[in-house]
Amino acid sequence: MKETQAGTDYLKLGVMGDPIGHSKSPAMHNAALAALNLQGAYIPLHIRPERLGDAIESVKTLGFRGVNVTIPHKVEVMRYLDAIDEGAARIGAVNTIVNDNGRLTGYNTDGIGYVRSLKEEACPDLKGKRIAVLGAGGAARGIIYALIGEQPESISIINRTEDKAKALAQEWGTMAELHGCGEEHAKEVLSRAEVIINTTSVGMHPRISEMPVHPEWIPEGAVVSDLIYNPLKTELLLQSEQRNCTVHGGLGMFINQGAYALEYWTGLRAPVEAMKEAVLASLL
Ligand code: ATR
């Protein structure tokens, strides 16, 4: 007889972070479980940094199939895992853990989730494109790693702190044509870019009128993408629309990083429409 509720057929999932109350992941994944007719739950887990090791151990003890990890645990969590996927190791951060009978493997679905969303919603073919990435932090690392797999002509990293952009370009320079520069070269780099991606927090709620670059530097007709999903359309995207650009917001990345995680846990194709509806409802 099949076990139910607390038993093996009950899919236990969650997200660990500090803070965690604002996370839209529980709403999104519980909607996905319902749409797939799976018995289970995805719960928010408020885990302070000093308890992270114990919390990861409890994933095994309590029989969770997997968890997401978010700020501030994405880097620190790696030392508690049994294996780390190659992409997550390169990026240096994990956001998804899969528990296979007590063996924990870490993945990073942020970058691949982002690229899937960019291709589906704004730019189907990134091959041979000149891409400019604004920012050189953790989010940029995940995205640039996934973009390299799409074989663009070049990726230029523009960052306020020039040294960070240059270091990142040098680190992965053998895998693709990468350049790093400071904001003083942004105008020149952007004039040649076909795809522009903002990975900085500039323009995020509540400072919604801020722009990561001067609007006049955005070339007419480019694809302009922003990782921010609150607001759904940032000032950068609003200004880019005025310049006949194709714009792409961060909501799709959030949905697709979750979709990949769910696919790792269940082996099933994620119901992205139901997930999107749930996130949009929770944003209202
Ligand atoms: P995340 O994991 O979200 O990428 P992060 O690692 O702290 O966060 O990186 C934030 C990125 O946004 C950095 O590239 C940062 O630039 P610096 O390297 O110069 O710090 C960039 N950033 C944040 N606030 C910014 C601002 N007001 N103007 C320009 N860039 C900013």
- Report the DSSP beta bridge partners of residue 66: 13, 98
For atom 5 of ligand 1, which residue has the closest CA? 137
Query: What phi, psi does 133 have (nearest 5°)?
Result: -110, 125
Q: Between 7 and 233, whose confidence is greater?
A: 233
| Residue boundaries of the structural domains of the chain | 11-108+252-283, 111-249
Q: Return d(Cα 282, Cα 33) in angstroms, integer.
A: 16
User: Is-contact 85 93, C-beta < 8 A?
Assistant: no
Q: Is 23 annotated as a binding residue?
A: yes
What average pLDDT does range 34-49 have in this prediction? Answer: 98
Share of the chain above pLDDT 70, in %: 97
Taking all residues of the chain, what is their mean pLDDT, rounded to a whole number? 95
* Ligand 1 midpoint to CA 136 (Å): 7
Task: Decide if domain 11-108+252-283 falls under CATH 3.40.50.10860.
Answer: yes
CATH superfamily of 111-249: NAD(P)-binding Rossmann-like Domain (3.40.50.720)
- 227 CA closest ligand 1 atom index: 3
Interface predicted TM-score (ipTM): 0.98
What average pLDDT does range 245-262 have in this prediction? Answer: 97
What average pLDDT does range 7-27 have in this prediction? Answer: 92
Pick from 5, 100, 20, 10: nearest CA to 60: 100
Q: Which of 2, 12, 60, 74 is catalytic?
A: 74
* Ligand 1 midpoint to CA 59 (Å): 32
Check residue 284 and give its pLDDT.
79
3-class state of residue 249 by DSSP? coil
What average pLDDT does range 146-155 have in this prediction? Answer: 97
Check residue 8 and give its pLDDT.
59
Tens-place pLDDT, residues 163-210: 999 999 999 999 999 999 999 999 999 999 999 999 999 999 999 999
Q: Is the pLDDT of residue 75 over 70?
A: yes
3-class state of residue 97 by DSSP? strand
Instruction: Please work out, in degrees rounded to the nearest 5, the angle formed at the alpha carbon of residue 79 by the alpha carbons of 75 and 15.
Output: 55
Q: Is 18 annotated as a binding residue?
A: no
What average pLDDT does range 136-154 have in this prediction? Answer: 96
Tens-place pLDDT, residues 205-235: 999 999 999 999 999 999 999 999 989 999 9
pLDDT band at 27 (very low <50, low <70, confident <90, very high): very high
Catalytic: 2?
no
Q: Between 279 and 3, whose confidence is greater?
A: 279
What average pLDDT does range 255-275 have in this prediction? Answer: 98
Ligand 1 pocket test, candidate residues 160, 181, 230, most atoms within 8 A of CB = 160
- 164 CA closest ligand 1 atom index: 18
Beta-strand relationship, 195-198 and 223-226: parallel
Q: Is the pLDDT of residue 5 over 80?
A: no
Q: Is 32 annotated as a binding residue?
A: no
Q: Is the pLDDT of residue 3 over 50?
A: no
* Ligand 1 midpoint to CA 133 (Å): 12
CA atoms within 13 A on the CB side of 228: 25
Domains 11-108+252-283 and 111-249 share a fold: yes
3-class state of residue 212 by DSSP? coil
What are the start-end ranges of the H helices in the chain? 25-35, 52-61, 86-91, 110-121, 138-148, 162-171, 186-192, 235-242, 251-266, 272-283
Q: Is 188 annotated as a binding residue?
A: no
Q: Which residue ranges have their beta carbon within 6 Å of ligand 1?
A: 135-140, 159-161, 164, 199-202
